[in-house]
Structure formats: C-alpha cells, structure tokens
C-alpha cells in the first residue's frame, strides 16, 4: 500500500475507533456529523439522515465546479413532508431558490426502513426512481411531478406541460441491486454521485465495503475523492 492510502486507512479506522459517540468529526451545510453518525458507515450499518444529507451537500458543492451539471438536492425529510401535506407544506423549503435553474434535482427518500432516490433531470424532462431493492415508485414520480407543476406555477408563473415529461421506475436490469438488507443508503449516495457527474451507473454490490470507507474520509474532509 502506498503511504497516502495507508494514512487514509488509518484515519478511517480511527473515526470508527476509540472516542465518544458524541465527538464531532465534521461540520458543514448547517450539519454536524458525530462519531456515532460516522459509525453507521461501518459494514452493514444503516445510514442515518445526517450522513445522507451531508453527502448530498458534498455532491451539490462539487456541482458548482466547471464541467459538472448544476445539482440541487432536497433533504431526506422533504418527500415525507410533501406526501403528507402536498406543495402547500413545503413551498417555504425553496425560499430564495429557483430549483428550475438547475440541471438535476436529487430527492433522497426514506421509506420507513429503506432508502431510495428520485432524480429529476430538467434538461431531459425526466423523473426517474432508483430503488436498489427493485420496487416500483411510479406514484412517487407522479407526486413529485405534481409538486414541480405547482412550484413552477407559484414561483415562476410558468405552466409545466405534464405530457412532455417522462416518468420511469428503473428496473432491476437497469441498475445494480443490493445483496443484503443494509446497503440501501450507500446505493442511494452512489446513484446520486454517478448521476451528478452524468456518468453511467456501473458499480456493483461488491463495491459497497470500499464505498463505505471512502465516504468516511470524504465526510471528515468535506471533499469528494
């Protein structure tokens, strides 16, 4: 192993290792990440909202660089609020932001004990649903399209034409599927990572242990490798 890689490995192990659960290991995007949060990235850990939202923050930050699509990410509480209250309950969430000025909108979704991802591509007028357990999310796509129609009407006074949009739940043959009951959060983060670089999704379940360790380093250093 080269020295740099060894240094990174020992840092990752230290983050999992000794210390108090409430130790703060990273702070950005109005979020603090503790050792307890980081420990959800250990093998077979279930990622929590803080880790998911922090990682989405890193993706948005990277998208400000030259050569990347402009990305907007909603936080993990957005969809549950939207589905229970409609546009009315979340219209303040985009105060001072025109989401339609972006290329890609990421919506991480927490379904009680499972993470999934919805992606709006404003360039292509598509809404796609990514689930590493192969469930369909057509109703989720429709809920978000309705939200976009109301958001556009209210914020920009522009009517979206729903018939111009393509809604699609990704099939099990189109995207990789998890091989255990605990990697869904990592899958969502990596789906979002590849999509926010306009890259084809080519990873496999075998990459998950590596992705988990890489994410520890990225969150602690607030930079994507």
For the segment 141-199, what is each residue's pLDDT rounded down to a tens digit? 999 999 999 999 998 999 999 999 999 999 999 999 999 999 999 999 999 999 999 99
Q: Are 99 and 72 in contact (CB under 8 A)?
A: yes
User: Minimum mean pLDDT among 90-94, 105-109, 126-130: which range?
Assistant: 90-94
Residue in 134, 180, 141 with CA at minimum distance from that of residue 162:
141
Which residues are designated catalytic? 114, 131, 184
DSSP element (H, E) containing 154 = helix 138-156
Percent of the chain with pLDDT over 70: 100
Cα separation values, 7 from 3, 27, 35, 42, 217, Å: 6, 21, 19, 18, 11
Q: How far apart (Å, rounded) are the C-alpha atoms in residues 76 and 56?
A: 9
Reported as a pLDDT band with limits 50, 70 and 90, residue 11 is confident
DSSP state of 94: G
Q: According to the model, what pLDDT value does residue 173 have?
A: 95
Note the pTM of the prediction, 2 decimals. 0.94
Give residue 6's pLDDT band: very low, low, confident or very high (50, 70, 90): confident
Multiple choice CATH, 6-221, 3.40.395.10, 3.40.50.2000, 3.30.990.10, 3.40.1550.10: 3.40.395.10
pLDDT band at 224 (very low <50, low <70, confident <90, very high): very high
Average pLDDT over residues 15-25: 88
Model pLDDT, residue 7: 86
pLDDT at 1: 57
Return the closest-CA partner of residue 42 out of 19, 76, 15, 8.
15
For 80-91, give one letter per residue: b (16+ CB within 10 A) or e. eebbeeebeebb
**Above 60 in pLDDT, residue 25?**
yes
């Amino acid at each position: 192993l080269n020295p740099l890689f060894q240094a990174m490995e020992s840092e990752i192990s230290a983050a999992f290792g000794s210390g108090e659960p409430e130790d703060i290991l990273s702070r950005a995007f109005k979020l603090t990440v503790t050792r307890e949060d980081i420990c959800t990235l250990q093998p077979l850990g279930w990622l929590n909202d803080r880790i998911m939202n922090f990682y989405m923050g890193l993706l948005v930050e990277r998208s400000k660089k030259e050569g990347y699509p402009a990305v907007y990410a909603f936080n993990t509480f957005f969809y549950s609020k939207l589905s229970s209250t409609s546009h009315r309950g979340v219209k303040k969430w985009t105060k001072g932001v025109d989401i339609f000025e972006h290329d890609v909108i990421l919506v991480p979704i927490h379904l009680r004990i499972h993470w999934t991802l919805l992606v709006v591509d404003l360039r292509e007028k598509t809404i796609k649903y990514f689930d590493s357990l192969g469930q369909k999310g057509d109703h989720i796509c429709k809920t978000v399209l309705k939200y976009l129609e109301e958001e556009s009407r209210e914020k920009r006074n522009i009517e979206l034409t729903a018939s111009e949009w393509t809604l699609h739940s990704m099939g099990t043959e189109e995207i990789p599927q998890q091989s255990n009951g605990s990697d869904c959060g990592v899958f969502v983060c990596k789906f979002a990572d590849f999509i926010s670089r306009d890259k084809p999704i080519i990873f496999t379940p075998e990459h998950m242990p590596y992705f988990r360790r890489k994410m520890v380093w990225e969150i602690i250093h607030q930079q994507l490798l």
